[in-house]
Amino acid sequence: MIHILFNGVRWTDMALILNRVAVGMFIMFSGYHKLFDAGRHRVFADELRSLHVPAVGINQWLPLVEFSAGAAVVIVALGLLVIILIATVTLMAQPDLQMIISAMSRRLVAGPKNAVVCRLPTNRTPPRAGP
C-alpha cells in the first residue's frame, strides 16, 4: 500500500477496489435474500433442520453475519475509493504539493547522503568444476 503514496494510484489499484465492491455486494445480497425474503428464509431454516444442525433457532439468523460482513466490505472499499478521489483532486489542485511529495519520495528511496554502506568481503573464490 505504501507504493500508492509514492507512485500514485494505478488502474490495477482501481480494479482491485472495484473487485472488492463486487465481492462485497455478492456476499451482502446472498445474506440479504436469506434474511429478508420470507420464502427463502423458510427454505434455509428447513435445510438446516434436514441437515440436523443444532440450535436452528439461532443458526437460522447467521446470514445476518453474512449480510453485515458484505456491507462492511462494500463500505470500506467505497471509502477507499472516495479517499483516492479526494487525494487526487487535492494533488492536482496544488502543483507545489506534488513537487514536495516527489522530492520526499526521491529522498526516501535514495537515502541520506552520508549513509554508511556495509559491504561483505568478496575474497571468496568460486568453486571449481570437476577434479
Percent of the chain with pLDDT over 70: 63
Q: Distance between CA 111 and CA 105 in Å, rounded?
A: 10
Strand boundaries in the chain, DSSP class E:
none
Task: Categorize the per-residue pLDDT at 127 as very low, low, confident or very high, splitting at 50, 70 and 90.
Answer: low
Least confident among 21-30, 67-76, 79-88, 92-101: 92-101
Q: Residues 50-77: pLDDT tens digits? A: 999 888 888 888 899 999 999 999 999 8
**Prediction pTM value:** 0.59
- Coil, strand or helix at 55: coil
Task: Categorize the per-residue pLDDT at 105 as very low, low, confident or very high, splitting at 50, 70 and 90.
Answer: low
Buried b (16+ CB within 10 A) or exposed e, 2-26: eeeeeeebeeebeeebeebbeebbe
> Nearest to residue 9, comparing CAs of 109, 87, 105?
87
Q: Distance between CA 40 and CA 31 in Å, rounded?
A: 10
